[in-house]
Amino acid sequence: MFRILFLSLVMWISCSFAQARQSLPLDTGNTEIMLVSDVDTARPGERFTVALRMKFDGNWYTYWRNAGDSGEPVHIVWDLPEGVTAGPISWPAPKTKTVGPIVSYALDEDVWLPVEISLSETLDPTTPITLKAKAYYLVCDDICIPESGALTLPIDIGTPKPNPTHSVLIESAQAKIPQLAEAQGSAQLDNGQITFNIADVPNGFETAALFPNENPIILHSDPITRTQGQKGTRYTATAGYGWDDGTPEDFEATLVAEDGRAIVVPISTNAVIDIGAAQPSGQTTSIGFWGALIGAFLGGLVLNLMPCVFPIISLKALSIAKTAHGERSEIRRAAWAYTAGVLVSFALFAALIIALKAGGASVGWGFQLQSPWLVGFLSLLLFAIGLNLLGVFELSGRLQNMGAGSVNKSGPASSFLTGVLAVIVATPCTAPFMAGAVGLALASSAGVTLAVFLALGLGFALPFFLVGYLPGLLSKLPKPGAWMERFKQFLAFPMFAAAIWLAWVLSLQTGADGTLTLLIASLALSFGLWLIKTRKPLVKILGAIAILFACLLPFKLSASGETADLRSRAWSAQAVASARAEGRPVFVDFTAAWCVTCKVNESLVLKTRKTEKLFARTNTEFLIADWTNKDDVIAAELKRFGRAGVPLYLAYKPGAKEPEVLPQVLTHDILKNALE
């Protein structure tokens, strides 16, 4: 019996020494934790590695060094003998966890957190030491629970002896720890947005996800947009509250590639890293420079047929018809003048965008109609042109060439002004072919932006330019006659329709007060035009004052901040993530009140019984990103998909990593195929 007890004791002692380099596993509730050493025996004056190993039950997880919008990182509190010190935790790459509007950075499954242990040379080589640590952490799934556990790990001191099993496991864990790369990064704060420029990253990291190592550098719940430059990558994020009291000191960020590899990049706030000309990293950016020029040219051609352009183009058609059977040289001069007006307008438009981009603004196609004062002024201008077409007033001399009546006259000056006005009212429309081209232009260098916009202008001006040089087309136009006066009066009604549409856009931007201001301006304009028709100088002066008052009123307009009651369907990155987490299809409509194509699609497809039943049958979450008023978050999302304007339609199928980008002209079948 004594022999059996002795052997049992020996075996127990042997097992204890075998387990000495790994603490006993501790179950803290939803996690099993332990300390693991890569050595059995360590020599004084040397270093070795101990890892906190965490194995989570089911879908439970804990938090990374930067926990994100919620949570706390893992903390290890060491109780060490004299002459023993512990370094910081070496953190593996994080994963993103999204719960409703909350975005967190997490660690899950089997987590190893290596810590370097340093021994003083003064340690007694004959006396073992015991490492004591207490781990504090949160574990989360549907709920979050704080857990903690105390662990002890004995280590022998003497001749170094690696643990053959644990050293391999810890070496594997350390290989997954992101290392400081040769890449360089910069971060600049501008108007609440942080722009990160990262250059010289290894191959495969061009589309990596960005994780600042410290909190609260950024607001994690807002989307991080990414654009690819010739020399690096740009990330744009909303600043966190850590920037409220000024620019923080330099920091580091972790980049995680799509294949799981990760690196650490130093970020400087005192310099700007040059990444070259940037272009969107979304799926639609592969069209290239020549593809963008061709797309812009074709888009300009199609733009002539869009509803927002038709009223102005109709006036020029009437002007050409009047002179079609006259001097061909006069027609050609008008064609050149109209083309010049279009190209100059597009060039100025491109220059304005380049200047705004240089100043850090986020702009897109049709951005000028996000200015309520310009919407109001254009509505007033189209209203005045309509009155002129009906014969309510006639202006003469230079004023006529500069006023609303000039566009329906013949001659180079009026043709030039017609081209200018056509470009202004054309920009709310995004024609087929031009979406990707304009998206690339807005995200590229100044030269590319200008080239694409001029190609768009050439396509837009080409039909009228050809009319001046193709006698066959001119001969088919009807001869001048009484019908022209009736047609001229008829064209007043498309002008009024366009003015009403702009007034409706203004009502969404400014509310009832803005609409009232526009109506008062229209009344003052009508009254002034009526007064100015008299022969009495004093009355004419009063009329001119009334017209001036009407023209100045729109400049008082500004966005009221009121939005349509779409709270249950308002787009946000969090709303998309939440619906997808529930396994539901998601359809996102990027729209604006000033987008005619958007409204046509809404009328014919989206706001129909068939679509209502489709969404109900497929349990689709319908989200609307309303870009009627300026919204940098929506602009950034459009840029992410290579677009600079609306409409943009995205369909997320359950389980799919990326959404399907639907055509700009929707049909019910397209929608059905994307969601079922």
Q: Is the pLDDT of residue 222 over 60?
A: yes
Read off φ and ψ for residue 536, nearest 5 degrees.
Answer: -80, 125
Quote the pLDDT of residue 438: 57
Residue 255's closest CA among 192, 195, 204?
204
* 429, 308 contact by CB (below 8 A): yes
DSSP at 220: T
Distance of CA 55 to the CA centre of its chain: 37
Confidence of residue 465 (pLDDT cuts 50, 70, 90): confident
Q: Is the pLDDT of residue 659 over 80?
A: yes
Read off φ and ψ for residue 541, nearest 5 degrees.
Answer: -65, -45
Any long-range contacts for 612-615 (C-beta under 8 Å, 24+ apart)?
614/668, 614/671, 614/672, 614/675, 614/676, 615/587, 615/675
Which string of DSSP letters, residue by residue, matches 421-464? HHHHHHTT---TTHHHHHHHHHHS-HHHHHHHHHHHHHHHHHHH
pTM recorded for the entire structure:
0.45
What CATH class does 180-276 carry? mainly beta
Asked whether this chain's domains 180-276 and 567-675 adopt the same fold, the reply is no
Q: Is the pLDDT of residue 500 over 50?
A: yes
Residue 388's closest CA among 428, 352, 421?
421
Write out pLDDT tens, residues 23-41: 778 888 889 999 999 999 9
Residue 654 in tokens: 């359950």
Write out pLDDT tens, residues 169-186: 999 999 999 999 889 999
Quote the pLDDT of residue 255: 94
CA–CA separation, 277 vs 289, rounded Å?
13
Quote the pLDDT of residue 406: 45
Mean pLDDT of 114-142: 90
**Which whole-number Å values give the CA distances from 627 to 183, 441, 638, in the listed order?**
36, 20, 10
Quote the pLDDT of residue 312: 55
More confident residue, 134 or 566: 134
Rounded to the nearest 10 degrees, what angle do helices 483-490 and 310-323 cross at?
170
Quote the pLDDT of residue 566: 35
* 166, 21 contact by CB (below 8 A): yes
Q: Where are the alpha helices (DSSP H) in 304-371?
A: 310-323, 328-358
Residue 653's closest CA among 673, 623, 670?
673
Percent of the chain residues past pLDDT 90, beyond the cut:
20
Q: Is the pLDDT of residue 466 over 70?
A: yes
Mean pLDDT of 277-297: 56
Quote the pLDDT of residue 131: 94
Confidence of residue 99 (pLDDT cuts 50, 70, 90): low
Mean pLDDT of 557-569: 47
Which string of DSSP letters, residue by residue, matches 67-120? EETS----EEEEE--TTEEEEEEPP---EEEEETTEEEEEEESEEEEEEEEEE-
Q: Which of 31-45, 90-104, 425-439 has the lowest mean pLDDT?
A: 425-439
Give the three-class secondary structure for 480. Answer: coil
Q: Which of 373-382, 425-434, 574-583, 653-662 has the lowest mean pLDDT?
A: 425-434
- Other beta carbons within 10 Å of 571: 24
**Which whole-number Å values give the CA distances from 596 to 38, 366, 505, in the listed order?**
67, 11, 11
Q: Is the pLDDT of residue 493 over 50?
A: yes
Q: Is the pLDDT of residue 95 over 80?
A: yes
Residue range 567-675, CATH number: 3.40.30.10
Confidence of residue 319 (pLDDT cuts 50, 70, 90): low
Distance of CA 470 to the CA centre of its chain: 45
CA–CA separation, 244 vs 241, rounded Å?
5
Q: Is the pLDDT of residue 588 over 90?
A: yes
Which string of DSSP letters, residue by residue, matches 117-133? EEE-TTS-TTS-EEEEE
* 263, 255 contact by CB (below 8 A): yes
Percent of the chain residues past pLDDT 70, beyond the cut:
73
Confidence of residue 598 (pLDDT cuts 50, 70, 90): confident
598-618 burial, b if ≥16 CB within 10 A, otherwise e? bbebbeebbeeeebeebbeeb
* 267, 187 contact by CB (below 8 A): yes
**Which whole-number Å values give the CA distances from 179 to 218, 261, 264, in the listed order?**
22, 10, 5
Domain ranges (residues) in the chain: 20-162, 180-276, 283-374+394-497, 567-675
Q: Is the pLDDT of residue 286 over 50?
A: no
Mean pLDDT of 189-197: 84
Mean pLDDT of 89-115: 87
CA–CA separation, 461 vs 335, rounded Å?
9
20-162 fold: Immunoglobulin-like (2.60.40)
